Amino acid sequence: MNRRSAIAALAVASMTLAAFGSDVRASIAPDEPTGELRVGEALAWMSWDPLQVIRAGYDMAWFRPVYEPLFEVGPDLSLESTLLAGWDLTSEYLDLTLIDGITFQDGTALDAEALKFNLLRARDTEGPSQSLFASVADVEIVDPLSVRVVLATPTPHLPYVLAKDAGMMVSPAAAEAGTLETEPVGTGPWVLNTDETQADAQAVYDAWDGYRDPSQQRIARIVIYPGVFGPEPFAAGDLDISYFADPQRSAMEGANGAIASEPYGGGTLLSFIDRGSGGVFEDVRVREAVAAAIDREALNAAVGNGGDPRAVPVAGDDYAASEELTGHPFEPDRAESLLADAGVEGLSFSIPVYPPVQAIGEALQALLREQGIEMELVPITGSIFAECSSGKYEACMFTDSASHPAQMYDLMVSAETFLNPSGVESEEVAAAAQAAFAEPDLATAEPLWNAWYQAVFNDDVALTYLVRSPVEMAYHPDRVETPNLTFVAPTAIDFRGLALVD
């Protein structure tokens, strides 16, 4: 099933969710978790509160051992869950029913009260995810294990929102005590060892003896190192699994590594955020010119690991995409002409970059320079969301893992989202979004969302894709089984069911 058919399956009025672990392993789990798994990640954690995720999906790599989201996005992009017994989505509400007997690591029950607390907390807590819950009018308790999320407007993508950071269930007791920033408390198989965890050095997780499904706890201890990744520590045997930058792929394979891949890794988008009055990208011709000046085939050859070089969502893979959606392919003469028509000479702009997109930024910078366009890269280590919403930059690069175009609209395009600091949204884009949101049936809404894609990528050019690559991490197959990468977060491993090799 591809992304198109998986999302269309949401039109089914009611679904029962099968339990979903990492993947079904052929071998039988040991009686007790054993061994230590060492993982290298690009960035350090900045908070243990999932609602304070500030670097797209990269922070989720640290959350996965401790927290579990309400929904999981399976390998075919279907929705599954280890926490829900069933769910029902309409244009007016989302009904959720929990599996009985689940508890948090502090002994608090995951029941309807706790579920309501988490959902309202996501709606009411200022942060990167808040805008995605704007349609939640109320959460009503139906019975001890069930709630109804009352929707002010149709929100067909809400289950996918709940598959990410904002859907990770936290203990209400820990949240109310104000300790989540430093000590996470979830329903997951491992607990954070706060005595051995050291900021900017390592996070240590021990198997939780109260987890409901010991068969998913096959590793006794997980240690994740921030900023320790790539060919050298991997070849030296310091890591069992490692993040790597795209240009390092051959070196990782040369270090006796195998590559774990999530086939559809979304992509990296360039957002032209300075579209307000007097802004560098106020004129749509300037936005079109930059989009047309990007040689995506060369960019993908440099950093894309064989990704798709198109500048738009892809028909047959992305929900609502069509062959008519072309974006602005590489046409350097047209780019030059557009800038001349707009009266722009020596176009220059700046973007913030952090380690996971550094290689893409440098390759893009070189390609645009060949076309006479200067793009300054400003290195950052903190919040990409905070930087991009600050108004200090003319454009930003984002990792896109939106399963539904409505997620992309709410987070990047809407005049109300914090990632659109200029507050500018064309009438065509707004009207297309309004029409698509008004149609609750996903199959019927598909051409309406396609019209929205046309407005955003073809006409208004608020966004353009740069690289569409599979998510990949390297691992030593003689030490650990193939890790299961999660679609919704670029480097987050689902450790459940994963085992070390004897």
Indicate which CATH number applies to the domain containing 178: 3.40.190.10
- Is 188 found in the same domain as 68? yes
Q: 500 in a domain, yes or no?
A: no
Q: 501 in a domain, yes or no?
A: no
Q: 502 in a domain, yes or no?
A: no
- Is 356 found in the same domain as 216? no
Give the residue among 282, 233, 325 at the shortest CA–CA distance from 422. 282
Q: Is 69 left (phi over 0), alpha (psi -120 to 50) or beta?
A: beta
**What is the C-alpha end-to-end distance of the chain, expressed in Å?**
34
Q: 89 in a domain, yes or no?
A: yes
- Is 151 found in the same domain as 39? yes
Q: 65 in a domain, yes or no?
A: yes
Task: Please enumerate in sequence order all residues whose Cβ is within 8 A of that of 21, keeping only pairs 6 or more positions apart, or say none.
Answer: 82, 213, 216, 494, 496, 497
Cα separation, 488 vs 369, in Å, equals 33
Q: 275 in a domain, yes or no?
A: yes
- Is 456 found in the same domain as 483? no
Task: Please enumerate in sequence order all residues whose Cβ is within 8 A of that of 208, keeping only pairs 6 or more positions apart, or say none.
Answer: 105, 188, 189, 190, 191, 217
Q: How many other β-carbons are positioned within 10 Å of the β-carbon of residue 501?
A: 11
- Is 419 found in the same domain as 363? yes
Range of the domain at 411: 267-467
Q: From first to last of its 502 residues, what are the pLDDT tens digits of the chain?
A: 344 444 444 444 344 444 444 343 334 445 689 999 999 998 888 889 999 876 656 788 899 999 999 998 765 557 889 999 999 998 899 999 999 999 999 999 999 999 999 999 999 998 878 888 989 999 999 999 999 999 998 888 899 889 888 999 999 999 999 999 999 999 999 999 999 999 989 999 999 999 999 999 999 999 999 989 989 999 999 999 998 876 788 889 888 889 887 655 567 899 999 999 999 999 999 999 999 999 999 998 888 666 667 778 876 667 788 888 888 999 999 999 999 999 999 999 999 998 778 888 999 999 999 999 999 999 997 778 889 999 999 999 987 767 788 888 988 999 988 889 999 999 999 999 999 988 877 778 889 999 999 999 999 999 998 987 667 889 999 999 999 887 666 567 889 999 999 8
- Residue indicated by tokens 């060919």: 231
- Is 119 found in the same domain as 62? yes
Residue 112 CB-half CA count within 13 A: 14
State the CATH number of the domain containing residue 287. Answer: 3.10.105.10
pTM of the predicted model as reported, rounded to 2 decimal places: 0.81
Instruction: Give the CA diameter of the chain.
Output: 71
Contact 104, 158 (CB under 8 A): no
Q: What are phi and psi of 386, to 5 degrees?
A: -65, -40
Q: 414 in a domain, yes or no?
A: yes
- Is 194 found in the same domain as 168? yes
pLDDT of 441 reads 74
The structural domain count of the chain equals 2
Give the residue among 498, 374, 500, 400 at the shortest CA–CA distance from 453. 400
Give the residue among 491, 487, 490 at the shortest CA–CA distance from 23. 487
- Is 73 found in the same domain as 219? yes
pLDDT of 127 reads 80
DSSP secondary structure, 76-143, as one string = TS-EE-SSEEEEEE-SSEEEEEEPTT-B-TTS-B-SHHHHHHHHHHHHHS-STTGGGGTTEEEEEEEE
SS3 160: helix
Tokens of 153: 């407007």
Q: 499 in a domain, yes or no?
A: no
Tokens of 264: 């559809």
Residue 22 CB-half CA count within 13 A: 25
- Is 487 found in the same domain as 396? no
Task: Please enumerate in sequence order all residues whose Cβ is within 8 A of that of 224, keeping only pairs 6 or more positions apart, or say none.
Answer: 39, 40, 41, 61, 62, 202, 203, 205
- Is 370 found in the same domain as 353? yes
pLDDT of 282 reads 97
Contact 161, 133 (CB under 8 A): yes
CA 254 to chain centroid? 29
Contact 230, 28 (CB under 8 A): no
- Is 358 found in the same domain as 303? yes
Cα separation, 327 vs 206, in Å, equals 48
CA 181 to chain centroid? 21
- Is 408 found in the same domain as 427? yes
